[in-house]
């Protein structure tokens, strides 16, 4: 119904009075931080210029045209028509894909416009090709000189064991002769102050200063979440030039190093692929970030804080800002700096081939240089990556390109990502690594001319992996890769989230609404198929109950699937099996949602945690025992991100499904869990286990286990199913109840059950907040769960809104 908006052309205009005496200033600029996307800009009926790139900053000199009262206009052209026109003009050869698959209900030729690629639709999002002014607009007036960009990056000089800072300032000098002056950099906490004399040439130019940190000051480094503090130091940089104003720039200085290590591994062909932060190898735990809204101006600081804090609360230390969205706003990276959330930053190219004509490349060069200058001071950004899946698209021939034409597209690929993007990144920022694509084979891809034969090779680089037809509880289907940067499963968001955008006739799994919001081919059927491996499908004759039951089961399925896969990646970090392993990263697809729809996300639109996000809090815990079965033997590994070894006790408890009393318990003392590694700590054949725990069969029993140490150190409780819950014998419907009480700003839910209850879900509808735990296996009569509200509420309101569900409530 709203499609016509994006097919129309729109003009934004207004009248404004000059806020200052225009005669007093040598130069006046009209600056647009972000224009989305194709526009002609006029002031007082004089054309200043045109824009064609949403990711660029545009500055227009209006010194000679500004008056006391002004009329400014921005004439937009439909992005959809513009993209189609650009594609038509590219006559030499086609640049696929032309259109998204029909299930996405999207627009065509998005690769011909430098705009948020998913705004023309994606497999998790709608087609809302916006038009407008999406970032700030301002007027700048100055004499003599003006600071345009300012950045600070740290480096550690090993030979002298000293930190230094590289400070880059980019100026516009109006004067016709060079300007001389002094720059003073002061970091009081580090007893560091240095003054430099500088000479600024007329026009635009940069000044780079190297500040050595006082060696007698103890520098605290910036560490990722879970590995230390996120210390930053206040720093003042003062520019006093012979003419013009003094400029004082307040900023933060952070100290951290990052290396992407790709070197041979004993007993394994290929190369490693892992990150070393401040000299320490770090296992990367996290997810992939997509735009938080189709309409970027709705994305406030609070929106970002809620989503990013939820990632940190789930023990994540990294997010990949995916290449089909936007370079995020400054606040996004500020919050990541504060939370210790490492960022893998893609450039905005995804799942497509792209043109490389001169105009296009010029626009991209400006975009890349602007974004790197804007963002490179953030310690949270640990990697630049050229694109999403475009190496794979050529290598696996997604677009059925005839072999004879392949060279043309490879040449374009190298031209765009290597000769332009990489060249600019390396010139602008030497402080962090760059890779050309994801997935990639890293150094091996470079050796093969940037397009490797198989970018999904587990022996090199990173992999993306999706499989919706196998049984996701079977760990052997997953690649024992060096780094898993995308993997995942879909689920439906909570009923309370869907309810806001639907009506009664939509509340069924096969409604027009349910199909309309599903943008992934066969997605709804795939979910049911995955659910069906281990759970009985809902049979209720009440259509709304059946819909709610189905939503619940898709969330349980998604949580269990991603748990199994992530635990596999975590326990593979210290071993090589048949030449594969040393997995050092797990970023599941995806963290957040752009609208209310079925997707791979663990956080719903609006921030509500799905069961997957609660599971993530456990499967990403700093200390975790992980179980898997191989040829009839149960193995438990101790996985740790802690920097020191720990002597712990492993508790293994077996229950029959029919009783809250354990049938047997085992405590193994003096288990050494090694620092930052995954080691086997327990093995027992399933037959021995069933023998040991008398009345047990695979179908009648379930195993729970956890690690306990000195001074309150404890892992989450983990579980291992010996058979599918749908085949469980002795499992009976539990009567669950909860009483809610308030303690300061939080609420406690005292839960009781009459029987073992798998996948206990607490849902308080649309009351904003999160629980301390959810979706758990309840094997004890009582459990206390805490609710952290994000807005004022009351115990009464929570009790009234609460729905308790466990597996046997699904009928």
Tokens of 535: 């759970």
Give one DSSP letter per residue of 15-59, joined into a string: EEE-SS-GGG-SEEEEEES-EES-EEEEETTEEEEEE-BTTS-EE
Our measurement of the distance from residue 477's CA atom to the centroid of its chain's CA atoms, rounded to an integer in Å, reads 24
Instruction: Examine the residue annotation and report whether 168 is marked as an active-site residue of this protein.
Output: no
The Cα-based distances of 495 to 337, 504, 509, 599, 602 in angstroms read 34, 12, 12, 14, 15
Tokens of 247: 């400029």
State the DSSP H helix or E strand holding residue 425, giving kind and residue range, or none if neither: helix 423-428
Per this entry, what is the length of the chain?
811
Instruction: Examine the residue annotation and report whether 389 is marked as an active-site residue of this protein.
Output: yes
Q: Please state at what angle helix 543-571 crosses helix 523-534, rounded to 10 degrees.
A: 80
Tell me how far apart the alpha carbons of residues 387 and 436 are, in angstroms, rounded to a whole number: 7
Match 């990489």 to its residue by tokens. Answer: 422
Is residue 145 within 8 Å of 244, Cβ to Cβ? yes
Q: Please state at what angle helix 611-619 crosses helix 543-571, rounded to 10 degrees.
A: 20
Tell me how far apart the alpha carbons of residues 658 and 544 are, in angstroms, rounded to a whole number: 30
Give one DSSP letter per residue of 368-391, joined into a string: HHHHHHHHTT-TTEEEEE--BSHH
Given the residues 107, 168, 389, 444, the one annotated as active site: 389
Tell me how far apart the alpha carbons of residues 654 and 207 are, in angstroms, rounded to a whole number: 67
In 3D space, the residue among 494, 570, 513 whose CA is nearest the CA of residue 774 turns out to be: 494
Alpha helices for 72-151 (secondary structure H): 79-89
In 3D space, the residue among 760, 262, 273 whose CA is nearest the CA of residue 481 turns out to be: 273
The Cα-based distances of 205 to 26, 169, 172 in angstroms read 18, 8, 7
Given the residues 33, 367, 444, 486, the one annotated as active site: 486
Is residue 787 within 8 Å of 797, Cβ to Cβ? no
Our measurement of the distance from residue 782's CA atom to the centroid of its chain's CA atoms, rounded to an integer in Å, reads 36
Q: Which residues form the catalytic set?
A: 389, 486
């Amino acid at each position: 119904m709203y499609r016509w908006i994006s097919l129309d052309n729109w003009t934004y205009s207004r009248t404004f009075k000059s806020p200052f005496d225009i005669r007093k200033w040598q130069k006046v600029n009209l600056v647009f931080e972000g224009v989305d996307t194709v526009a002609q800009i006029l002031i007082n009926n004089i054309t200043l210029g045109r824009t064609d790139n949403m990711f660029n900053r545009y500055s227009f000199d209006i010194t000679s045209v500004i008056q006391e009262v002004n009329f400014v206009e921005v004439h937009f052209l439909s992005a959809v028509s513009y993209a189609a026109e650009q594609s038509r003009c590219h006559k030499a050869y086609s640049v696929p894909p032309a259109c998204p698959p029909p299930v996405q209900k999207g627009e065509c030729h998005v690769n011909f416009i430098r705009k948020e690629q998913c705004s023309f639709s994606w497999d998790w999002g709608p087609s809302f090709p916006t038009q407008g002014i999406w970032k700030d607009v301002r007027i700048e007036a100055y004499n003599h000189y003006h600071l345009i960009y300012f950045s600070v990056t740290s480096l550690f000089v090993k030979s002298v064991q000293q930190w230094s800072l590289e400070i880059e300032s980019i100026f516009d000098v109006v004067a016709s002769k060079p300007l001389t002056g002094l720059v003073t950099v002061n970091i009081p906490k580090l007893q560091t102050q240095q003054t430099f004399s500088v000479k600024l040439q007329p026009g635009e130019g940069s000044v780079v200063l190297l500040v050595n940190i006082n060696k007698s000051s103890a520098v605290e480094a910036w560490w990722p979440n879970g590995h230390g503090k996120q210390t930053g130091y206040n720093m003042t940089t003062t520019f006093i030039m012979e003419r013009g104003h003094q400029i004082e720039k307040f900023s933060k200085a952070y100290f951290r190093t990052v290396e992407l290590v790709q070197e041979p591994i004993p007993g394994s062909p290929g190369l490693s692929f892992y990150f070393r932060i401040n000299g320490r190898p770090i296992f990367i735990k996290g997810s992939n970030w997509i735009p938080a809204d189709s309409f970027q101006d709705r994305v406030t600081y609070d929106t970002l804080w809620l989503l990013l804090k939820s990632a940190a609360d789930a023990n994540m230390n990294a997010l990949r800002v995916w290449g089909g969205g936007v370079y995020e706003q400054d606040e996004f990276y500020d919050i990541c700096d504060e939370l210790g959330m490492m960022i893998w930053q893609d450039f905005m190219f995804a799942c497509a081939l792209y043109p490389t004509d001169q105009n296009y490349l010029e626009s991209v060069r400006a975009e890349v240089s602007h974004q790197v200058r804007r963002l490179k001071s953030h310690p949270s950004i640990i990697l630049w990556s050229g694109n999403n899946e475009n190496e794979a698209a050529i290598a696996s021939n997604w677009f059925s390109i005839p072999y004879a034409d392949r060279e043309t597209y490879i040449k374009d690929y190298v031209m765009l990502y290597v000769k332009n993007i990489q060249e600019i990144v390396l010139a602008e920022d030497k402080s962090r690594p760059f890779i050309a694509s994801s997935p990639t084979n890293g150094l091996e891809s470079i050796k093969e001319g940037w397009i490797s034969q198989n970018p999904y090779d587990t022996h090199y680089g990173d992999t993306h992996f999706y499989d919706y037809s196998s049984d996701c509880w079977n760990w052997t289907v997953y690649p024992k890769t060096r780094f898993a940067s995308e993997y995942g499963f879909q689920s439906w968001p909570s009923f309370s989230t869907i309810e806001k955008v639907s009506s009664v006739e939509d509340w069924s799994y096969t409604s027009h609404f349910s199909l309309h919001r599903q943008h992934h081919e066969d997605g709804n059927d795939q979910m049911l198929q995955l659910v069906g491996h281990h759970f009985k499908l809902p049979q209720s004759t009440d259509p709304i109950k059946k819909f709610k039951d189905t939503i619940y089961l898709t969330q349980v399925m998604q949580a269990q699937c991603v748990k199994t896969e992530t635990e596999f990646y975590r326990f593979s970090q210290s071993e090589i099996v048949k030449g594969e392993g040393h997995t050092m990263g797990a970023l599941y697809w995806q963290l957040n949602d752009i609208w209310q729809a079925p997707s791979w996300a663990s956080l719903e639109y609006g921030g509500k945690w799905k069961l997957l996000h609660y599971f993530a809090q456990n499967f990403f815990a700093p200390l975790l025992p992980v179980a898997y079965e191989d040829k009839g033997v149960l193995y438990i590994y101790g996985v740790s991100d802690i920097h020191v070894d720990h002597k712990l006790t492993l508790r293994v408890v077996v229950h029959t499904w029919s009783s809250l009393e354990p049938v047997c318990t085992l405590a193994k003392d003096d288990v050494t869990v090694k620092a930052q590694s995954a080691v086997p700590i327990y093995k027992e054949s399933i037959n021995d286990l069933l023998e040991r725990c008398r009345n047990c069969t695979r179908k009648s029993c379930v195993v729970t286990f956890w690690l306990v140490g000195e001074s309150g150190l404890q892992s989450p409780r983990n579980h291992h199913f010996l058979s599918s819950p749908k085949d469980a014998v002795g499992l009976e419907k539990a009567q669950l109840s909860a009483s809610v009480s308030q303690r300061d700003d939080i609420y406690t839910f005292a839960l009781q059950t009459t029987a073992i209850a798998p996948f206990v879900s607490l849902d308080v509808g649309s009351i904003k907040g999160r629980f301390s735990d959810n979706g758990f296996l309840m094997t004890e009569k009582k459990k206390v769960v805490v609710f952290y509200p994000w807005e004022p509420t009351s115990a009464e309101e929570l009790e009234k809104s609460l729905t308790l569900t466990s597996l046997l409530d699904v009928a």
